[in-house]
């Protein structure tokens, strides 16, 4: 198993290349293309596509072109959601990853269309990929479920409603399970499916994803509450301004930190269970990705 | 072959039921669901899904559940595009089909999400339909191409740019071929594929679709230029206010009317060619749909 940093570096390049090539080849309108590429090139941790690839590599499989395509499609969906989320009618953010948000550069109309285009292109990319038909359909079913009205879009709607009323911890967990958890879950399920793992293992990857997703969101809330704009590359303290229910607002800073630790431990335990179940499995890469969420 | 009006009436009910049932079952957030259903129930001609079903019936095939699912998915994509198109940052329309537009009722944020949700749900519906895997993938490839950055979304971007500069007739035709033509083309290709027709026939349906799509857009431009708000159920004269290039603005009213007639004749000729090529084909339903575009 290669070192995590090598895996990460090489993967980032190939994921970005895959997105860029697809958008360049399959977008006929130049301004639309430019707006889509702007947000694709704005960087970011590429957490979700890295998870897809890390899951595949964890079973000692070589990552193939179609695996990068699925990973790229997932990142395109994540990117579209950020563009729409930043719009004035939504979170009204001016800054994302240290750069002006899409609508600040291209205007709201083109930002809406760039998001619509990335969402549609993600399904097109998976549909055109060289994956066996039944597996491809399963992936499209899971991706549309994770991204749509049972997943991320439903979570965004719940999030909006959470700005107007305070949520209970259970309601907050449900919003986040949909808003960010669903795509993270897809990443791990897709990785398991692409690595041709049996259902039992894919299910365990799904359990790992739940803990990882929750940890991811608690960390995100903690960073918004405690970081500077310079550190984070986007406006901070927005949750408080918007009066959003967050883990720190419901549990306090210390409580939220403890909840994060708990989820990291549970995630780690699940990786150990997968290792016990499958002799092929190496947990190092996914463990490293989990560790990224530990507070520095 | 049943009478056109019977076909239309029965089909409309079943298309709407399919959309409604899917949204109700597959949307977990109540406000999001309400916003999506509002626009789904706002009526409209259901021109695109009717084309899918009319093409299938034209080959004497019974319309099956999965055919309604594809038709419903197409109408959901059309509906999402209207919701986003009506947003203040886009065409800024207050009225659609005689009712307040989605964002006027649910606010901009929920309207953006309702559109995102409908787009994603459309792919989910096709992916979950009972269609043989290879055919299903072909349909998802064609639908994402028609709806996305080589089709409708690219056309919307071109349309925005057309507000700022006047377009040539060729540029205008290209914008419309993408903005409205692509989904109309998908409708007929999908109908041919679902009716298990050979490639030669599916291609001819595509040729018919090009004429139908152009006629559709010219008629739309003519109605915007000549109707009252009451007749049309939406704001009229918007094209002129927005200084958009349209067929009437480029060809004059009489020239646009003549161009419409030409496309209707070419469409009719293509149906005759299909009839000569396939003994199974009955042209009446598609001819009637074409006739709907004749000026009253």
B1 band by pLDDT with thresholds 50, 70 and 90: low
The string of pLDDT tens digits covering residues B111-167 is 999 999 999 999 999 999 999 999 999 999 999 999 999 999 999 999 998 877 888
**Partner-chain contact A116 B141, CB within 8 Å:** no
pLDDT of residue B242: 64
pLDDT of residue A296: 73
Q: In the predicted model, is pLDDT for residue A159 greater than 60?
A: yes
Residue B294 Ramachandran class (φ > 0 left, ψ -120 to 50 alpha, else beta): beta
**Partner-chain contact B127 A115, CB within 8 Å:** no
A30 band by pLDDT with thresholds 50, 70 and 90: very high
pLDDT of residue B240: 66
The string of pLDDT tens digits covering residues B168-189 is 999 999 999 999 999 999 999 9
Q: Kindly give, in sequence order, each residue whose CB lies less than 8 Å from that of residue B255, ignoring residues fewer than 6 positions away.
A: B247, B248
Tell me if chain A has a CB within 8 Å of the CB of B123.
yes
Grouping H, G, I as helix, E, B as strand and the rest as coil, residue B100 is strand
Nearest to A140 among B140, B145, B160 (CB): B140
A235 band by pLDDT with thresholds 50, 70 and 90: low
The structural domains of chain A, ordered by start, are: 4-291 (1.10.600.10)
A238 band by pLDDT with thresholds 50, 70 and 90: low
Grouping H, G, I as helix, E, B as strand and the rest as coil, residue A162 is helix
Tell me if chain A has a CB within 8 Å of the CB of B74.
no
Residue B217 Ramachandran class (φ > 0 left, ψ -120 to 50 alpha, else beta): alpha
In chain A, the percentage of residues whose pLDDT exceeds 70 is: 94
Whole-number Å distance between alpha carbons of B104 and B9? 30
The string of pLDDT tens digits covering residues B21-42 is 999 999 999 999 999 999 999 9
**Residue numbers of B between 7 and 36 with CB closer than 8 Å to A:** 23, 26-29, 31-33, 36
Six token digits for residue A104: 């600040």
The string of pLDDT tens digits covering residues A160-180 is 988 778 889 999 999 999 999
Within 8 A of B87 by CB-CB distance, chain A residues are 89, 112
User: Is the separation of the CB atoms in B52 and B66 below 8 Å?
Assistant: no
pLDDT of residue B105: 98
Interface with A, mutate which of B22, B29, B87 (most A CBs under 10 A): B29
Q: In the predicted model, is pLDDT for residue A227 greater than 90?
A: no
Q: In the predicted model, is pLDDT for residue A134 greater than 60?
A: yes
A273 band by pLDDT with thresholds 50, 70 and 90: very high
pLDDT of residue A4: 85
Whole-number Å distance between alpha carbons of B223 and A249? 54
Whole-number Å distance between alpha carbons of A157 and A178? 10
Sign, CA torsion A100/A114/A173/A140: negative
Six token digits for residue A143: 């991706």
B202 band by pLDDT with thresholds 50, 70 and 90: very high
Q: In the predicted model, is pLDDT for residue A230 greater than 70?
A: no
Interface with A, mutate which of B28, B35, B165 (most A CBs under 10 A): B28
Six token digits for residue A142: 């899971």
A260 band by pLDDT with thresholds 50, 70 and 90: very high
**Partner-chain contact A149 B26, CB within 8 Å:** yes
Q: Kindly give, in sequence order, each residue whose CB lies less than 8 Å from that of residue B134, ignoring residues fewer than 6 positions away.
A: A133
From the CB of residue B141, how many other CB atoms can be counted at a distance below 10 Å? 15
Q: What is the DSSP string of B57-99?
A: HHTTPPP-HHHHHHHHHHHHHHHHHHHHHHSTTTT--SEETTE
**Closest chain B residue to the Cα of A138, Cα to Cα:** B127
Tell me if chain A has a CB within 8 Å of the CB of B145.
yes
Among A173, A120, A177, A122, residue whose Cα is nearest residue A151: A177
Among A157, A158, A160, residue whose Cα is nearest residue A173: A158
Q: What is the DSSP string of A226-246?
A: H--HHHHTS--SHHHHTT---
**Residue numbers of A between 92 and 121 with CB closer than 8 Å to B:** 107-110, 112-113, 115-117, 119-121
Tell me if chain B has a CB within 8 Å of the CB of A76.
no
User: Is the separation of the CB atoms in B162 and B170 below 8 Å?
Assistant: no
Nearest to B141 among A27, A107, A128 (CB): A128
pLDDT of residue B214: 94
Grouping H, G, I as helix, E, B as strand and the rest as coil, residue A100 is strand
CA distances from B200 to B189, B206, B207, B271, B273 (A): 11, 10, 11, 13, 11
Query: Mean of the pLDDT values across residues A81-89?
Result: 97
User: Is the separation of the CB atoms in B106 and A130 below 8 Å?
Assistant: no
* DSSP bridge pairs for B99: B96
Q: What is the DSSP letter of B234?
A: S
Which stretches of B148-296 are DSSP H helices?
152-164, 169-176, 182-194, 199-226, 229-232, 238-241, 247-277, 284-291
The whole-chain average pLDDT of chain A stands at: 93
From the CB of residue A42, how many other CB atoms can be counted at a distance below 10 Å? 18
**Partner-chain contact B127 A133, CB within 8 Å:** no
Q: In the predicted model, is pLDDT for residue A232 greater than 80?
A: no
Q: In the predicted model, is pLDDT for residue A29 greater than 80?
A: yes
The string of pLDDT tens digits covering residues B38-49 is 999 998 899 999
Whole-number Å distance between alpha carbons of B51 and B8? 10
Whole-number Å distance between alpha carbons of B38 and B255? 38
The string of pLDDT tens digits covering residues A1-24 is 568 889 999 999 999 999 999 999
The residue whose two tokens read 């550069």 is A105
Among A93, A87, A89, A83, residue whose Cα is nearest residue A35: A83
| Exposed e or buried b per residue across B175-184, where buried means at least 16 C-beta atoms within 10 angstroms of its C-beta | bbbbbbbbbb
Q: In the predicted model, is pLDDT for residue A245 greater than 90?
A: no
Closest-CA distance, B228 to chain A, in angstroms, reads: 27
Query: Mean of the pLDDT values across residues B234-256?
Result: 80
Q: In the predicted model, is pLDDT for residue A237 greater than 90?
A: no
The string of pLDDT tens digits covering residues B69-126 is 999 999 999 999 999 999 999 999 999 988 999 999 999 999 999 999 999 999 999 9
Of the ranges A19-23, A122-126, A147-151, A247-251, which one carries the lowest mean pLDDT score?
Answer: A247-251
The residue whose two tokens read 């709407």 is B16
Q: In the predicted model, is pLDDT for residue A204 greater than 90?
A: yes
pLDDT of residue B61: 95
Count Cα neighbours of A152 within 13 Å in the Cβ-side half-sphere: 29
pLDDT of residue A228: 66
Whole-number Å distance between alpha carbons of B101 and B45? 17
Nearest to A109 among B28, B29, B89 (CB): B89
Query: Mean of the pLDDT values across residues B257-266?
Result: 97
pLDDT of residue B166: 82
A120 CA to centre of own chain = 17
């Amino acid at each position: 198993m290669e070192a995590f940093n090598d895996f990460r570096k090489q993967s980032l390049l190939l994921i970005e290349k895959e997105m860029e090539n697809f958008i360049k080849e399959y977008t006929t309108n130049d301004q639309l293309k430019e707006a889509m590429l702007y947000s694709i090139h704005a960087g970011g941790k590429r957490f979700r596509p890295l998870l897809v690839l890390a899951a595949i590599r964890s079973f000692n499989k070589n990552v193939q072109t179609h695996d990068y395509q699925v990973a790229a499609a997932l990142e395109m969906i994540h990117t579209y959601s950020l563009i729409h989320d930043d719009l004035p009618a939504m979170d009204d953010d001016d800054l994302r990853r240290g750069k002006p948000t899409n609508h600040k550069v291209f205007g709201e109309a083109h930002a809406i269309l760039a998001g619509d285009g990335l969402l549609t292109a993600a399904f097109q990319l998976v549909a055109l990929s060289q994956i066996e038909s039944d597996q491809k359909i399963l992936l499209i079913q899971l991706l549309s479920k994770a991204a749509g009205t049972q997943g991320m879009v439903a979570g965004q709607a719940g999030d909006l409603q959470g700005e107007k009323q305070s949520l209970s911890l259970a309601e907050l967990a449900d919003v986040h399970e949909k808003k960010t958890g669903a795509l993270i879950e897809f990443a791990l399920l897709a990785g398991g499916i692409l690595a041709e793992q049996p259902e039992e293992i894919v299910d365990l990857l799904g359990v790992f994803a739940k803990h990882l997703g929750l940890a991811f969101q608690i960390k995100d809330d903690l960073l918004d509450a405690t970081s500077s704009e310079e550190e984070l590359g986007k406006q901070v303290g927005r949750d408080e301004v918007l009066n959003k229910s967050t883990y720190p607002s419901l549990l306090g800073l210390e409580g939220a930190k403890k909840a994060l630790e708990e989820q990291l431990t549970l995630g780690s335990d699940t990786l150990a269970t997968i290792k016990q179940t499958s002799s092929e499995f190496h947990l190092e890469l996914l463990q490293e990705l989990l560790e990224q969420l530990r507070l520095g």
